[in-house]
Amino acid sequence: MHPAGGVRRVARLGDGSTSGLRRTRCARSLSRLALAVALLVGGHAAAQRRQDSDRYDATFRKYSKRFFGPAFDWQYFKAQGEAESGLDPRARSRVGARGVMQLMPGTYAVIKAARHERMGAIEDPEWNIAAAILHDRDLWLGLSDHPEDAERMRFMFGSYNAGEGPIMRAKSIARASQLDATRWRSIERVAPQVQRWRYTETLPYVQKIESNYEQLRAQPTRQNAPRRGSSERPERRARG
């Protein structure tokens, strides 16, 4: 037996165990550091996304108030913008719709000519949003036979997406089917019967806006949110 050698072996084993412990502690420290960095970067990215999402809020508030009145919740139009383009001013659809609210150039030109005011390019977020909300207001006023605002809102957004023609044809079919043509649920039922309508695009579009709106409503109270119990309607605020 070689006691001295045995001692050396034990010493070497002890050195290895200590070194392994150090490596484990170092790995844990690095892991905690990486987690902290990830949380920091993730928090910054989330804050940036919130900032990007909110960058047009003042514009939505401004033109919602101008065309629909101060009691109307401007977040409906932001929810629409999210559904249209994800609030991307550079967005362009395969059929040529442009900007945050995906307006067709022809529609924008008509609105611009009718307003008799200086409006910039269709891609300009402010004018794109302003024209879209004005277009929404015109659609809203054309739906005066709808007594419930929530239903009227669905028809307004549906008309924005599909055009007034398909929605009017759908209402006619709903009435012929002895359904309540002022309820969007009836339109969903008869949609497959409506000719020249891409209803598989319009129906999810309206649902997406409602989903976006509910998510916005769940966020902390925003400036210029509608007052509870207010009953002012866009008709009372209509402007030329």
DSSP code, position 173? H
Structural domain 56-237, CATH architecture: Orthogonal Bundle (1.10)
pLDDT, one tens digit per residue, over 189-228 is 999 999 999 999 999 999 999 999 999 999 875 554 554 4
The DSSP-derived string for 200-235 is HHHHHHHHHHHHHHHHHHHSSP-TTPPPTT----GG
* 89-110 exposure pattern, b = at least 16 Cβ within 10 A, e = fewer: bebeeeeebbbbbbbeeebbee
**pLDDT tens per residue, range 159-192:** 999 999 999 999 999 999 999 999 999 999 999 9
Structure-token pair, residue 21: 């412990």
pTM above 0.85, yes or no: no
Cβ–Cβ < 8 Å for 172, 95: no
pLDDT of residue 238: 47
In the predicted structure, residue 58 carries a pLDDT above the cut 70: yes
Q: Position 48: which residue type?
A: Q
Backbone angles phi, psi at 113, to 5 degrees: -70, -35
Taking the domains of the chain in order of start, what are their residue ranges? 1-54, 56-237
pLDDT of 20 higher than 80: no
pLDDT grade, residue 13 (50/70/90)?
very low
